Amino acid sequence: MVEIKDGRIISAVISQCLTRYSCSWIAPLVPQITARQSADVDVVSGATQSSNALYYAVLQALAQAK
Amino acid sequence: MDAGYVRSVASMGTMVTVRVIGHGTSQRARRERTHAVDRAIAWFARVEAVCSRFDAQSELRRLSTRIGDAVPVSAMLFEAVQFALAVADVTQGAFDPTVGHRMEAHGFNRAYQTGEVAASGIEAADDVSYRDVTLDAAARSITLHRPLVLDLGAVAKGLAVDMASRELAPLADFLIDAGGDVFVGGHNADGAAWSVGIRHPRDATQLLETVRLSDAAMCTSGDYERPGHIVQVTTRETARAVASATVVAPSAMVADALATAAFVLGPIDGISMLEDHDVQGMLVTTTLDRFTTRGWAHD
């Protein structure tokens, strides 16, 4: 779940573990996203990413905030 | 920016996202868009039910219990295995779908949904290879000549993306992202070719490059998200020279399989193999040197 206020991400939390990785494995990614504040490409190609769940949660939240 | 109509589901061990631009002005258009996305997303569960190595009830796993018999299989499994064997052949086994038991030995034996160990229990000899699998197209059957574990991990997701892209093709402008396996149709919300970033293999917050694509797939094999998950067959060591292999092709199944093969082959042979197949690609070594095919263009 990603919360947006005044166009800035104020929190990003994985509400549910959808992958075989534990939530604690994903958690360190969260500060990177708040620091980056960016969704400057349409999509990113990479090796199978659990973090994509978070990436798209951010992307959707940003889109809805606009 | 109009983000379009977006839907995400968890499937095939990752997050699958479909985005469609336009088709939102009338109720009828929206209904057709919804139905097309429903059909596109349904392919992921359908392909997984057939091709999963982690589900003992999958058609693939049931096939793995029959040694020496010509087993009639579904069209989907036949196509997937036929393609995997073809890529194994053209890459002289650098890509090999019979690595399943080595994947298990490397610890890739847990079902992502439950975290439970889902190993096949099959004892495969060290020297099994794709040559121990034969196909009969007329009978649509597959024969495993020795005990082995087929792994369609580098094929199945691409296949699902390709099937999904066919469902969405009438909508023209769309994007499918299956955990970094990407297919883009038409244009983005700005009417431009989609911008597809390639993740930096050592810094998840950085992109290596951005490529503009339309009606094409891009897939990346990397050593980062699931370290050591690409097993090199020739030396039986985890391939380490390449940190990230990205391929652009008309089909996600092709892009995914060739990215995996290029990853294993290494930067020189990998690029040469990609050029032989008329696809575009970029390999990044563990020392972050970049190797690209002729004609590779990025923003």
- Please state the rounded mean pLDDT for residues B190-196: 92
Closest Cα in chain A, distance from residue B142 (Å): 29
Is the residue at B287 inside a domain? yes
Instruction: Check if the beta carbon of residue B12 is closer than 8 Å to that of residue B48.
Output: yes
pLDDT at B281: 94
- Confidence (pTM): 0.77
Report pLDDT digits (tens) over B66-110. Answer: 999 999 999 889 988 988 888 888 888 888 888 755 555 544 444
pLDDT at B226: 45
pLDDT at A48: 56
Q: How many CB atoms lie within 10 A of CB B176?
A: 29
CATH number of B231's domain: 3.10.520.10
CA dihedral B64, B67, B72, B77 (to 10 degrees): 30
CATH number of B62's domain: 1.10.3980.10
Of residues B253 and B142, more confidence is placed in: B142
Same domain, yes or no: B70 and B142: yes
Instruction: Check if the beta carbon of residue B168 is closer than 8 Å to that of residue B40.
Output: yes
Total domains in the fold of chain B:
2
Same domain, yes or no: B61 and B136: yes
- Please state the rounded mean pLDDT for residues B163-188: 93
Report pLDDT digits (tens) over B108-166. Answer: 444 444 445 555 566 666 678 899 999 998 999 999 999 888 888 778 899 999 999 99
Same domain, yes or no: B63 and B144: yes
Same domain, yes or no: B128 and B201: no
Which residues of chain B neighbour A63 with C-beta distances below 8 Å? 1, 3, 6
Beta strand ranges found along B174-264 (DSSP E): 174-178, 181-185, 194-200, 203-213, 216-222, 242-249
φ, ψ (nearest 5 deg) of residue B255? -60, -45
Q: How many CB atoms lie within 10 A of CB B92?
A: 14
Tell me whether residues B199 and A19 touch, CB distance under 8 A. no
Is the residue at B160 inside a domain? no
How far is CA B153 from each of CA A5, B19, B50, B138, rounded to the nearest angstrom? 40, 24, 12, 26
- Please state the rounded mean pLDDT for residues B205-218: 90
Is the residue at B280 inside a domain? yes
Which residues of chain B neighbour A36 with C-beta distances below 8 Å? 205
Q: Is the ipTM of this complex over 0.85?
A: no
Residue ranges making up the domain that contains B244: 193-292
Same domain, yes or no: B212 and B142: no
Closest Cα in chain B, distance from residue A29 (Å): 9
Instruction: Check if the beta carbon of residue B34 is closer than 8 Å to that of residue B15.
Output: no
Report pLDDT digits (tens) over A16-63. Answer: 333 333 333 333 333 333 333 345 678 888 765 443 344 444 444 455
Same domain, yes or no: B68 and B118: yes
Is the residue at B21 inside a domain? no
Give the domain-ending residue among B151, B178, B209.
B151
Instruction: Check if the beta carbon of residue B278 is closer than 8 Å to that of residue B269.
Output: no
